[in-house]
Amino acid sequence: MKSKQAIAEFEVAKLHSDRGDFVKAIEKFKHVSKVFIELKDYELFLDSQNALLRIYSEQERFEKITECKESLQDLVIQEGFELSSQIFYTLGVCAAYKKQVETAQDYFEKALKLALKTDNKKDICYAIYGMAVVYWMSGRRDDALKEIYNLQVFFQIMPLQDLKMASLLLNGHILRDMKKYDQALEIFWQAYDSLKESKKLYMYLSLLYAMGLTYLDSGDLNMGRMYLNLAKRSIDPSNHTALVNRINKRLEEVGDADASDYDLILNSSSHLLTERKKGRVDFKNQFILLDLLRLFMQNPGHVYSKELLVERVWKQSYDPSVHDNKVYVTIKRLRKLVEPDYDKPKYIFRSKNGYFLNKATRVMVD
C-alpha cells in the first residue's frame, strides 16, 4: 500500500514539474525520495533525485546539487547500493550541472559501460544522452551529434518521451552553435510537434528560448525578440530563475530590455541595485545583505523560514538564541536600503513562517 501511495505521489510531483510549478514539485520529490529509500526502491529514488537536480539547476541552487551528490555518495555506503548505471548517471548529472565536464564524462562513461554489460536499454539511452551533453559542453559538436543520432535508433522502439524531447533540444542547440540555423529550426519544430501531445510547460519555454536564440544568431532580430519575449511573458520567475535570467541577458544584448519594466534590478558583479523610485543602491561591503536580497529576488513569493535563511545566507546551523535577533536586524537593515518608504514596505514581507519578497515584484538579476 505504501509503495502504491509513493508511486502516485511521484506521478503528482512529475505533473507539478511538467507544468513548471517547481516549488510544489520539490516538496513532493523530496518526500517520495525518503519513502523509496525505506522501500529500497532505488530505481524510483534515483528518478526522483534526477528530477530534483534538474529543478535545482533551473533555480540556480547549486548548493542543493552538491547536497544531492554528497547524500547519494553516503547512501551508497550506508545502504550498500550496487554501483549501477543509474547511480553513475545521476552523479554525472550532478557534475554536469556544476560544469565539472571531465568528472561528468567519467561518470557517464561508467554508466554506459555498466548499461551495455547488463543490456539495459533505458540506462543505455540515458548514458548516451549524458555523453552527448558533455561532448557539447566540451566543444566536440560532431561527437555530440553522433551520440544523439545513436539515440534515434532506440527511440524507434522505446517510449522515452522526456529523453527524446531533451535530445531534440540539445540537437538543435548544437546545430545552432555550428551556424546551421535552418537545420536547427527544423529540429525545434519537430520538438514543437511532440510538445503538442505532452504539453509540458518547462520544455515549451525552453523551446521558445532556443528558437529565439537561433533567430537572433541567424541575424533575424525581430523574430528572435518575438520568441524571447513570448517566453518571458510565459515564465514565472520564482520557478524558472535560470531561464528568465538567460532571456533577459539576450534581450539586453539586442537592446530590448527596458529598466522601466522592473521594480528591482540587481547587478551582482558591481553590487548595485536599481530600485524604480530610489535609483541606485550600493551594497558595497554589505555581502550578507546582498546575499539575502539575491536569494529573495531569485524566488519572489517564496517564503524562507529563519532556519533556511541562516543555512543559505550565513552558512550556519540555526540556533534561535543566536540567530533570531540577527535575522530580524538584518531584514530591518535590508528594508531600509531597498524600500522607498520604510514604514510602508512594498517588497519584503513577513509571514507566520518566515520572510519573502512580494510575488508581484518585477525583478531582474544579472
312-326 residue pLDDT tens: 999 999 999 989 999
Decide if pLDDT at 1 tops 70.
no
Single out the residue of 93, 153, 166 nearest to residue 127, CA to CA: 93
Decide if pLDDT at 202 tops 60.
yes
Provide long-range contacts, Cβ within 8 A and 24+ apart, for 59-63.
Answer: 59/22, 59/239, 59/240, 59/241, 59/242, 59/298, 59/299, 60/241, 60/242, 60/245, 60/298, 62/97, 62/98, 63/312
pLDDT of residue 19: 80
Tell which phi-psi region holds residue 340, choosing left (phi > 0), alpha (psi between -120 and 50) or beta: alpha
pLDDT-above-70 percentage for the chain: 95
- Taking 3-state DSSP, the helix, strand and coil percentages for the chain, each rounded to the nearest 5, stand at 70, 5, 25
pLDDT of residue 196: 76
Which pLDDT band holds residue 256 (cuts at 50, 70, 90)? Answer: low
3-state secondary structure 16-45: HHHCCCHHHHHHHHHHHHHHHHHCCCHHHH
pLDDT of residue 325: 93
Please compute the mean of the pLDDT values over residues 275-297 and round it to a whole number.
87
Which pLDDT band holds residue 306 (cuts at 50, 70, 90)? Answer: very high
H/E element, 49 = helix 42-58
C-alpha count within 13 angstroms, C-beta hemisphere, residue 182: 0
pLDDT of residue 261: 66
Decide if pLDDT at 109 tops 60.
yes
For the ranges 23-37, 80-94, 219-233, the lowest mean pLDDT is seen at 80-94
Which pLDDT band holds residue 73 (cuts at 50, 70, 90)? Answer: confident
Please compute the mean of the pLDDT values over residues 162-190 and round it to a whole number.
94
For 17, other C-beta atoms within 10 Å of its C-beta total 24
pLDDT of residue 210: 95
pLDDT-above-90 percentage for the chain: 41
Single out the residue of 171, 177, 91, 179 nearest to residue 129, CA to CA: 171
pLDDT, greater one: 89 or 199: 89
Decide if pLDDT at 131 tops 60.
yes
- Separation between Cα atoms, residue 324 and residue 318, nearest integer Å: 9
Structural domains of the chain sorted by starting position, each given as residue range(s) with its CATH number in brackets: 1-81 (no CATH), 266-365 (1.10.10.10)
The letter for the amino acid at 172 is G
Single out the residue of 260, 262, 266, 269 nearest to residue 334, CA to CA: 266
Angle at 33 between CA 31 and CA 35, to 5 degrees: 75
For the ranges 14-18, 239-243, 302-306, the lowest mean pLDDT is seen at 239-243
Write the DSSP assignment of 226-242 as a string of letters: HHHHHHHHH--TTT-HH
Grid cell locating 75: 547512501
For 142, other C-beta atoms within 10 Å of its C-beta total 9
Please compute the mean of the pLDDT values over residues 216-241 and round it to a whole number.
84
pLDDT of residue 366: 62
Decide if pLDDT at 182 tops 60.
yes
The β-bridge relationship of strands 363-365 and 264-267 is parallel
pLDDT of residue 68: 82
Which pLDDT band holds residue 43 (cuts at 50, 70, 90)? Answer: confident
Give the residues across from 143 on adjacent strands.
none
Question: Are the C-beta atoms of residues 188 and 214 closer than 8 Å to each other?
Answer: yes
Decide if pLDDT at 102 tops 90.
yes
pLDDT of residue 305: 93
Residues 6+ apart with CB under 8 A from 359: 238, 300, 301
For 37, other C-beta atoms within 10 Å of its C-beta total 17
